[in-house]
Every structure is written in structure tokens, then in C-alpha cells.
């Protein structure tokens, strides 16, 4: 892609983008979600933790100790604010950039790190790439790489709950690129027709890997796509933690009342590469980051907390030290854990293995081993 065709992603706020945290660090009373000081502090700690882990996981990948990582640099408010707005019993259907939300909901850091190494304690037994974790206990569905598939899955899950008259809603994460997928059309249409309690949360971070938003849609906004399905669309400043919590809470309440789904377009920006396998400098001019640096979501919340005397440099240093200690312990444990046992590749497929699978398992376990192969 030439420099002339590189994307100039919208710098918020536009007139139709909801904001709560003003430049003067006051909150707009119209959309103020009413977070307590302790809640804001808790969310800030999770945002900082997410960024610190991002940086350290990239370091591990560059050292060759893990194979892959998908980061969330610059998108922490959109990810954590939306997850926080959902109830404990609701289910989240992630994309692959939302690990911070999974940790906030209760996924143990050690379990997450075991997945990054794909070892014997990995909940998916090393069968998926790193960052493809799952945690049923906290209502977190397994991440899937194909673009947009989680959209129809999240709708179907909420539809099943509605049939069973369960008080349950779903939050589905996806990027701007997924709005060009067939699953987006199918999920939106079905949810609109049957008034399904799903919150469609699109993180419009400007890029679908290396494809800019304006190269994949002629729509002025992504939120307006909901009109075709009878689904209201809302645009929100995705770098404004308070605004994200507010709009997701309202969308959830609407769904619980039986009024159907909401499509939320969170305007944010992907400050890093698509993943550790990507070099954004090949398709994105460095000056594209400039208008977003001053709107860093973590910096904005920290300024708010400091204004209210709830945070300072000493507290920041303690948090960094705490995260570093926890991360080092998790990595040490993961690197000492052996790979999954060979026989596990035959498990979790059938409740009762059929004869031919049992036969294959026996043959494989009795067969020759290459040096250093799985035990």
C-alpha cells in the first residue's frame, strides 16, 4: 500500500460519538455510568496490568520463548470497559485481543500463561495458537481465529438462553474487518428479527490487519449498518472508559428488557501491529499515531484519578512491581511444565471414544518416538 492510500482514521470525538470524560477531566452527567471511586481504581489497575502484560508477552515472543501474541495496545478502555459493564452471569464471545477482560472476569494469570506456552496445563491442551484460551467458569468462550464466527455463535447462545427463559445476555467482540463477513450479516439479521439480548461490540481500530476501514466499506460509519437489520447503532469514544461502560450498560439493559440487540461502534486505534507477526510500518505512516497518543485511554483515566487524589507515582510503581512478580512466577511455572502428553490428542473429541479412535491411540502410543518428542 502506498503512502497516498494509507488510512487517515477518524480522530474522536465526532459529533455523533458519545463521550463522558471531558478534556477538563469532568464527567458528562447525561452519560455518566455512576462508577464509584473504587470501581474506577479497579478498572485502571486492570488496564495498566493489561498493557504491562502486553509488553512482556511481546518480549517473550521476540526471545523465541512463545510463538505468537495478539496485543491490545491503545484499546484497553474499549475492552475492559465493555466487559465490566456486563453481569457476572452473562457470557462473552471474544475476538482474540481481549485477554485483559478475561483476566478481569476471573481467568487466572497462570492459566493464561500456560496457554501462551501450549503446555500440559493449557486448558486447550496445546491444540490452538497462543492467545486462544477459554474459561467456562467465568463465561468466556474459546477464541476462534476465523473472522466473525463468534458473532453467530454469540447470537445462538443468547437465543438458546431466551428459549429456556434464562436471564442471560451475550457480549460479542469483533473488529471493523468482521463487519464485512457473512457471519456479521447473519448474526445481526437473526438477532434483530428475534429480539435477542446480544450486545454487538465492534472495536473500530482503523485496521483489519493491513486493510484500512474505508477500503472495505462505503458506509459513513459502522454503527449505521445496524439500521438494515432493525438494530440501533451507537458510536462511542472507545478511548473513554466511562463512555464505554455507559453505552454497554444501556445496551445490556435494553436487551434484558426484551427490546433486542444493540450494535456499538467503539472508535479507537490499534497502536501496535495486528500481532507479533505483523509489521505495521509497511502499510501505516508513523504520523498516523500522533493524534491518538494524546488520547491514550490509560493516561486519561490516570489523570482523572490523580485529580481526585486517588493515584500517584508511588502507587504506579507498586502496581508495576506487583504485575512483574506475578508474571515472572507464571512464566517460570509454565516453562517448567512439560508439553501435553501424546495421548491427549485423542481426548475431548467424544464423550466415549469410538473403536477406531481407541485403536489409533493405542497404535500411536506403541509406535516409535523421535528424539525429544512428547511423552
Is 283 marked active-site? yes
pLDDT score of 301 more than 80: yes
pLDDT score of 342 more than 90: no
- Listed in sequence order, the residues at least 6 apart from 345 whose beta carbon sits closer than 8 Å to its beta carbon are 125, 127
Among all chains, which residue has been given the C-alpha cell 455463535?
153
| Average pLDDT estimate for 130-155 | 93
CA distance 192 to 189: 5
Residue from 46, 51, 250, 270 carrying the catalytic annotation: 270
| Average pLDDT estimate for 218-239 | 96
Is 250 marked active-site? no
Residue from 31, 133, 283, 304 carrying the catalytic annotation: 283
| E-strand stretches of 97-213 | 170-175, 198-204, 207-208, 211-212
| Average pLDDT estimate for 255-267 | 98
In the chain, the largest separation of any two C-alpha atoms, in whole Å, equals: 70
Beta carbons within 10 angstroms of residue 299's beta carbon: 12
Residue from 19, 46, 235, 274 carrying the catalytic annotation: 274
pLDDT score of 60 more than 80: yes
Tell me which architecture the domain covering 11-338 has in CATH.
3-Layer(aba) Sandwich (3.40)
pLDDT score of 58 more than 90: yes
Read off the pLDDT of residues 321-332 as tens digits, 9 standing for 90 and up. Answer: 999 999 999 999
Is 274 marked active-site? yes
- Listed in sequence order, the residues at least 6 apart from 86 whose beta carbon sits closer than 8 Å to its beta carbon are 92, 169, 171, 199, 248, 252
**Do β-strands 91-93 and 170-175 pair in parallel, antiparallel, or remain unpaired?**
parallel
| E-strand stretches of the chain | 17-18, 91-93, 170-175, 198-204, 207-208, 211-212, 233-237, 262-267
Measure CA 75 to chain center: 9
Q: Residue ranges per domain, the chain?
A: 11-338, 341-375
Pick from 187, 255, 243: nearest CA to 17 = 243
Task: Identify the pLDDT of residue 196.
Answer: 98
Lookup: cell for 334: 509454565
Amino acid at each position: 500500500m502506498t503512502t497516498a492510500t494509507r488510512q487517515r482514521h477518524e480522530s474522536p470525538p465526532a459529533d455523533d460519538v458519545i463521550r463522558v470524560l471531558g478534556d477538563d477531566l469532568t464527567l458528562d452527567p447525561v452519560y455518566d455510568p455512576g462508577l464509584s471511586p473504587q470501581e474506577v481504581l479497579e478498572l485502571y489497575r486492570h488496564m495498566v496490568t493489561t498493557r504491562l502484560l502486553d509488553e512482556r508477552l511481546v518480549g517473550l515472543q521476540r526471545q523465541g520463548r512463545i510463538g505468537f501474541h495478539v496485543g491490545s495496545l491503545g484499546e484497553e478502555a474499549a475492552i475492559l470497559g465493555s466487559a465490566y459493564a456486563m453481569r457476572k452471569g452473562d457470557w462473552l464471545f471474544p475476538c482474540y485481543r481481549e485477554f485483559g477482560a478475561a483476566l478481569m472476569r476471573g481467568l487466572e494469570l497462570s492459566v493464561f500463561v500456560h496457554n501462551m506456552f501450549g503446555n500440559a496445563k493449557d486448558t486447550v491442551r496445546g491444540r490452538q495458537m497462543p492467545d486462544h484460551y477459554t474459561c467456562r467458569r467465568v463465561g468466556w468462550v474459546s477464541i476462534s481465529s476465523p473472522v466473525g464466527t463468534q458473532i453467530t455463535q454469540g447470537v445462538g447462545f443468547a437465543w438458546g438462553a431466551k428459549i429456556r427463559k434464562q436471564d442471560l445476555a451475550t457480549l460479542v467482540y469483533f473488529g471493523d474487518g468482521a463487519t464485512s463477513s457473512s457471519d456479521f450479516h447473519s448474526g445481526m439479521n437473526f438477532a434483530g428479527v428475534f429480539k435477542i439480548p446480544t450486545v454487538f461490540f465492534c472495536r473500530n481500530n482503523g485496521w483489519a490487519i493491513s486493510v484500512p476501514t474505508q477500503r472495505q466499506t462505503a458506509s459513513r460509519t459502522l454503527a449505521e449498518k445496524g439500521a438494515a437489520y432493525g438494530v440501533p447503532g451507537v458510536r462511542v469514544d472507545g478511548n473513554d472508559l466511562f463512555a464505554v461502560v455507559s453505552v454497554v450498560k444501556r445496551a445490556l439493559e435494553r436487551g434484558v428488557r426484551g427490546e433486542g440487540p444493540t450494535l456499538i461502534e467503539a472508535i479507537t486505534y490499534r497502536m501496535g501491529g495486528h500481532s507479533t507477526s505483523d509489521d505495521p510500518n509497511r502499510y501505516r505512516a508513523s504520523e498516523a499515531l500522533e493524534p491518538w497518543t494524546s488520547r491514550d485511554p490509560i493516561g486519561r483515566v490516570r489523570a482523572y484519578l490523580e485529580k481526585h487524589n486517588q493515584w500517584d507515582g508511588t502507587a504506579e510503581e507498586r502496581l508495576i512491581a506487583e504485575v512483574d512478580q506475578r508474571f515472572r512466577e507464571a512464566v517460570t511455572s509454565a516453562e517448567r511444565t512439560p508439553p501435553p502428553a501424546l495421548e491427549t490428542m485423542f481426548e475431548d473429541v467424544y464423550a466415549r471414544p469410538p473403536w477406531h479412535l481407541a485403536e489409533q491411540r493405542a497404535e500411536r502410543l506403541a509406535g516409535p518416538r523421535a528424539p525429544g518428542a512428547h511423552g
